[in-house]
A = this chain, B = another copy of it.
Amino acid sequence: MLFVFGHQNPDTDAIASALVYASYLTRTGTPALAYRIGEMNFETPFVLQAAGIEAPPRLPELAEGTAVALVDHNETGQSVSNLAQLNVTHVVDHHKLGDLQTNTPAMLRFEPVGSCGTILLRLYREANLSVEPLEAQLMLSAILSDTLHFRSPTTTEADREAVEFLASVAGIDDVASYAMQMFAAKSDLGDTPAEQILAMDYKEFTFGEGDDAQRWGLGVTETTNPGYVLGRQDELLAAMRRLKDKEGLAGVMLSVVDILEEHNETLVASEQEAAVVLGAFGVQTEASRASLGGMISRKKQLVPALEAYFEQQG
């Protein structure tokens, strides 16, 4: 039995793609089950409820050598902590290839598209496997979530085409309205502690090489209600500074992305991050906040700009 899971701080793509890939593998002869390796954000429970299914369970402790399939990630730092002891036999991902290595030849499927859901739909088509309405709704949700309903610059023609097909199979006539409900659910943070808001879509990256290498933490909060998040700026900054100290990070930033206006207001933990933001983006930070405009994709815009900046410095 193959254990399928997405990254830490799972988003809808990580959860939905684990469920769909497990279903695909099982239906094509490799029994598999979906798991998660962290708490879900507020969007994913809405998606699961709309689809009428339970959340995948937490991944149990796995014995050395257990066969696992990764979706939506491949950096070991974003995966389960004992990944090096496990046997990665399958990976479906749309991120750049990081530090993963496999013990034996594996089944890897990486494509530069907006969501793992889009790659999974290709797998169904290649296998001439019918897409069930539940599978379609999950893949659809994954793509809408990761591409912010095509607003993200990571969006490709394949994502648009997949959504059109999947919506018809899932019986969702008004895709825009469904996407808005997803984003509203994600934005309904209520009295969520600042630590949890920061952790919800948070990834660490190493910039620079060798002795100059620096570990940064980059959080993103995608919301239809940026005023609510930015209204809690002081709490969030305090949480960012605590995290930075605790983890010994060189920098911590939290980008508050207004999904509808496609605008990024980024909070920075200190003057150090402000200097990097000025160098990498040419933007002045005021009162711990920098307006990064349309730079709304961490993967395609923020991280490449930071990488280029640190490469120049190195």
Contacts and interface: CB of A to CB of B under 8 A. Distances in A.
B112 A110 contact: no
Interface string A95-127: 111111111111111111100000000100110
A112 B107 contact: yes
Contacts of A289: none
A105 B101 CA distance: 17
Interface residues of A, number: 25
A244 interface: no
Contacts of A112: 104-107
Contacts of A98: 101
A101 B95 CA distance: 11
A36 interface: no
B109 A101 contact: no
A182 to B, nearest CB: 23
A104 to B, nearest CB: 5
A102 B110 CA distance: 11
Number of identical protomers: 2
B108 A102 contact: no
A94 interface: yes
Given A108-B108, A108-B110, A109-B108, A97 B100 contact: yes
Contact of A97 (B101, B126, B304): B101
A101 B99 contact: yes
Nearest to A112: B105
B105 A95 contact: yes
A242 to B, nearest CB: 31
A202 B94 CA distance: 33
Given A97-B101, A126-B126, 11 more contacts: A94-B105, A96-B101, A96-B102, A96-B103, A96-B104, A98-B101, A104-B304, A105-B299, A106-B112, A108-B109, A109-B110
